[in-house]
Structure 1
Amino acid sequence: MGTLFMAQFMGALYGLLSVIFGAFGAHALKKRLTPELLQSFETGVKYQMYHAIVLLVLGFNLSFDQPLDSWIVNCFIFGTLLFSFSIYALCLGAAKGNKPKFLGPVTPLGGLLLTAGWALLLYSFVSNLV
């Protein structure tokens, strides 16, 4: 599968899932999670939606004729997966009294990939000016 398809597909999938997870958090988890855990869960949903939109915009605007375009998209895809989904697992695990400790380092790694995606996107804009 090409990077263009992956950007569009994952953007749409992440958008769909963020709406579902947001509703799930607002209704089903509101009574089960502490306010702090609910806020963390909502952070995962927000970041997922932000990056779903970014992936869709990139999928319709990048030419994908340079490797940098693929790096940007992959950073956003895998960064969102690691960041948001590890937050969901940590929150749900904590609600059940079983916090999966191995996921602790996964969230910052996802955040690092998201940051790298934004930095590479900025670089792609600046490099076109020089």
Structure 2
Amino acid sequence: MKFFLIAGAINAFLSVALGAFGAHALEGRVADKYLATWQTAVQYQMFHATGLLIVGLLMSTAFIGPISSLNWAGYLLLAGIVIFSGSLYVLSLTGISILGAITPIGGLAFLAGWIMLIVAALKAL
């Protein structure tokens, strides 16, 4: 529980910081398509940081508690942030297009994480 709350807060912080960095430091230094890619990474990082916070909060309540599917949900969302957003950040800075092949793996981790959150909710009902 505590881990996912901390991971969510750290990722929300990083999302804001990296969004500001992209808007101020990268503008005019990278191609517009890479600025758009950077923004996508920031948005998905924030969305899924919020998901991590939700997982942590659900684990802390008597309503759901520490269900293994919640653990899976949290770890998959975190892996998705690292793989999806991380690959897009590196792609934006380096232009290494092969990183685009890694990004969908992070997207699949996001999807699996949300499915595991659904499973946890169904188990708790």
State the TM-score, normalized to the length of structure 1.
Answer: 0.85
Matches of 1:65 and 1:52 in 2, distance apart? 19
- 8 Å contact 2:67–2:120 — kept in the other structure? no
Whichever residue aligns with residue 23 of structure 1, its letter is A
Match of residue 54, structure 2, among 54, 57, 60: 57
Indicate conservation of the 8 Å contact 1:8/1:55, yes or no.
yes
Equivalence for 1:73 = 74
Mapped to 1, the partners of 2:15 and 2:124 lie a distance apart of 33
State the shift of 1:124 in Å: 2.5
Per-residue CA deviations over 1:78-121 (Å, capped at 9, x if unaligned) read: 11111001100011002xxxx163x3322110000001011111
Query: Equivalent residue for 1:38?
Result: 35
- 1:20 aligned to which of 8, 11, 17: 17
Give percent identity, aligned residues only. 37
Q: 1:39 to 1:121 in 2, by over 3 A?
A: same
Question: Aligned partners of 2:51, 2:105: CA distance in 1, in Å?
Answer: 19
SS in 2 for 1:28: helix
Tell me what 2:7 maps to.
Answer: 10
Pairing 1:77-88 to 2, within 5 Å after superposition: 77-88=78-89
* RMSD of aligned Cα (Å): 1.5
Q: Give structure 1 stretches of 5+ with no counterpart.
A: none
Question: Hey, what's the Cα distance between the residues in 1 that align with 2:11 and 2:112?
Answer: 19
